[in-house]
A and B are shown apart, each in its own frame.
Chain A
Amino acid sequence: MPQLINSNNCWQIEYEGSKKLENYIMSSLLVSGGICFYLTGLSVYLNNNLLPFINVQDLKFIPQGFTMMFYGSFFFFLGFFQILTILLNIGSGYIKFDKNTNQIKIVRKGYPGRTKQIFICYSIKQIKSIKIFYEYTTKKIQRIFLSFNDGREIPILTTLDPTEFDRSEKNVLELCENVDIVAEIVYSDQNIF
Chain B
Amino acid sequence: MLGLSLQTWQIHNLSILEWIIAIELVWRYSKERKKKIYLKLSSFMVAFFISGICIINWHYYLNINAFIWLVIFQSFLTFFANTSFIKIFN
Contacts and interface: CB of A to CB of B under 8 A. Distances in A.
A138 B2 CA distance: 41
A138 B39 CA distance: 9
A109 B39 CA distance: 39
Interface string A53-70: 011101110111001000
B2 A193 contact: no
Nearest to B1: A60
B34 interface: yes
Main secondary structure of the interface of A (DSSP, over half): loop
Given A63-B1, A63-B2, A192 B65 contact: no
B61 A64 contact: yes
Contact of B31 (A55, A58, A60, A192): A192
B34 A192 contact: yes
Interface residues of A, number: 13
A60 B60 CA distance: 11
Interface in A17-59: 54-56, 58-59
Interface of B: 1-2, 30-31, 34, 36, 39, 60-62, 64-66
17 contacts: A54-B66, A55-B65, A55-B66, A58-B64, A59-B61, A59-B62, A59-B64, A60-B1, A63-B2, A64-B61, A67-B60, A138-B39, A192-B30, A192-B34, A192-B39, A193-B34, A193-B36
Interface in A162-193: 192-193
A70 to B, nearest CB: 13
Contacts of B30: 192
A138 B65 CA distance: 41
A59 B36 CA distance: 46
